[in-house]
Structure 1
Amino acid sequence: MSIGEKIKAKRLERGLTQKALGELAGIAEPTIRRYEAGKLNPKMETISKIANGLGVTPAELIGPEWFDLQIGAENVKSLQRAVNLHSGIIAALEEIYGAVEGKGIMGESGLECPYWIIGKASNSFILYEKDIETLVQCTKAFIPALVDRLKDTRPEAEIIQEITAELNK
């Protein structure tokens, strides 16, 4: 669904006309019409104004793509790698300690402080976001030394020949 279609759907869901949304967002009605028709793409600050007029966050209006737009396409891959590393650490903790439960505390400002309860029952403990980030950084620092000890630098053809021979036994 395009940004314009999402704006229109949310506007209709709220029971607003294009004129009413324009007034709430401080944007001319014809401009709202062009956004919804896909003839014009709103800038980031305009998306925020429209979301505000609709009484939602830009992320609620646009969806996950909002974050991609915020950080820029060139940074999305980097963010995905960071999320994957973070998820990997959480998965490793669950495997090692038996359980991981993610929780968060929401402040009045709307900011959330995530934390994780690690382990089961009386043997559980809490790790905070900064602790998970420390584990990610330590893991990244440790991997090169471990890989240096494990890597096989022989030519690939030789390795394939050895593995094939082993499989054929």
Structure 2
Amino acid sequence: MTTGENIKRLRKERGLTQKKLGELSGINEVQIRQYELGRANPKLDTLKKLCSALNVTLHEVLDDNWDEMNEEKKMGFKENLQKLLDENNLNVSQLADLIGIPKNTLYTIMSRNSTRIDFRILEKIAKAFSVTIEELISDEYEHKDVSISKELNRIRSKKLQKIMKPIQDFMNEECCPHDMLVIQRGNAQLFSGELSIRLDILD
């Protein structure tokens, strides 16, 4: 059964109308109807609200084949994930670091023979790329222009500004000896890639 069919089945088992489920979950009745008819895919946050209202787990609502993916879904997932990685200038190792899972786990998931995948990992991958889990494994999914690399660059830029502002403020002071300001590479006690900033009073 599809996710929409599961939502409909669970709703009816509890004697709820679409309107009542909408009231309990805070989701528009029309939107619930679209999900049940398979005309729209609920986002992860929406699924969680529906699950809470139905008093079920995400696994009970999702498509029967999430854990044991068939060949079509497996290929759709891997192709979509590779597209997302390419669009965001990321590799498998970087994505693993970003979502906090072992690199070997993600490499195994993307291997040719892998058919099983932990739902929690699917959830993390989907959240990282701002897509739904169903979109992530759909063989018809066309990715929207959502760039992790842009967000990472924004974060890096903010960090750099935070580092440089005190230096710029210092250099703007009249008493600042501009030619005595030295920015040096840190010593071995620093983490790789970090900079130490030191002011040296030169003779």
Higher helix share: 1
TM-score, with structure 2 as normaliser: 0.34
Higher strand share: 1
Higher RCO (C-alpha under 8 Å, 6+ residues apart): 2
TM-score, with structure 1 as normaliser: 0.40
